[in-house]
Structure 1
Amino acid sequence: MKRVFDLVVATGLLVAFAPLLLIVALLIRIFLGSPVLFLQVRPGLNMKPFTIYKFRTMKDIRNDEGELLPDELRLTPFGNIIRKFSLDEFPQLLNVVKGEMSLIGPRPLLMQYLPYYTEREKLRFSVRPGMTGLAQISGRNTLGWNSLLEHDVHYVENWSFALDMKIFFRTIVKVIRQDDISIVTSMAKADLNRERSMNQQP
């Protein structure tokens, strides 16, 4: 039932929003240049790597050493608008159609975090990662990493189609209200590495 729902809804949304997505892609090409899509390898079901699709929101600006500048310096006002309305996430509907993601599930984080999950937290990889999830409707921007991962595990342990519907419709409300829906900052992401590394030290 979950996979059928994913396939039907994702395909329907891609068709319904195709004109909007084409306009967004064109504007990204004009304001940010090429490429239009941001591609990144993330761990999916059973930790199997897959390439996630997102609309690009930042410029490729580097320092003299060729290293990318911090996100806040590369994020443009136009890119911020795309994120504000979560338009950058829409290409992930292709991941859903391909079976690499689900509409609802734990958000796929970075590959570099794999060594730092506890055995219980690895339960998040027993289901397909989602475009949105329980953590995202529970105040993602205000959650610490331990709390975020606990929400992911709670979702896996208590999954039901009714829970998916609750998350689905609450996500729509949050996007409309622009409430707790933006991505986690790079600094916050770095906290997981640092925190878990310190915890593993003797």
Structure 2
Amino acid sequence: MDVEVNAFGKRLVLPVAVARLNDLPLFGINWILKFGLTLPEGCNIRQIQNNALVVRSVRTFKQRMKAATGTKDKNVRLQNSLLSNHTTPQKTSQRTPAEVIFKRDMRTQLHLLKPSLEKKVDDALVRQKVFYDKGAKLKNFEEGDKLWVTDTDGNGYKQGLIRRQSDEFSYKVEVNGTLKRKHADQLRKCICAEQETKRGGM
């Protein structure tokens, strides 16, 4: 927030708060008293008593600079500190400051050690498919085969008879005198008459 003041016959726009290290910030009225400026009529500036956010930011920066190892060069330490700050996700937003500012993440050596989640998921899906296909057996039914058909009412299975194949995995099946289209996953081979009686005498 800025405030308009009259100084040296000119109108100036000054910040309401300016903070210096280990010093009280200059807020609105402090500027006027310090530099002998005059406020426009009707302007009221509220004074704030502390600068806790600035002090906390400075303390965090000093701690990072002190904890930095590997080099004594202050410029390198500063660059490393800024890089770690810009590439660390914030707790609330789960986004890095770099992503907020530049709309993309800054790539670091960590990205080489930790591959992207999308690639890992894609690789896992491919592995699962290969593993499944290795043991999977295609269901082939011939015309005239007797089989069990999944009942759409949820009452187990009903006995049916293959009339013809309508698509790669679809069959026209006769169930209780009615011709129905069924997917191969809904069909089970009927092995013998004994099993028919065990499943309900169908």
TM-score normalised according to structure 1 size: 0.20
Pick the structure with more strand per residue.
2
Q: Which has the higher contact order (CA 8 A, sep 6+)?
A: 1
> Which structure has the bigger radius of gyration?
2
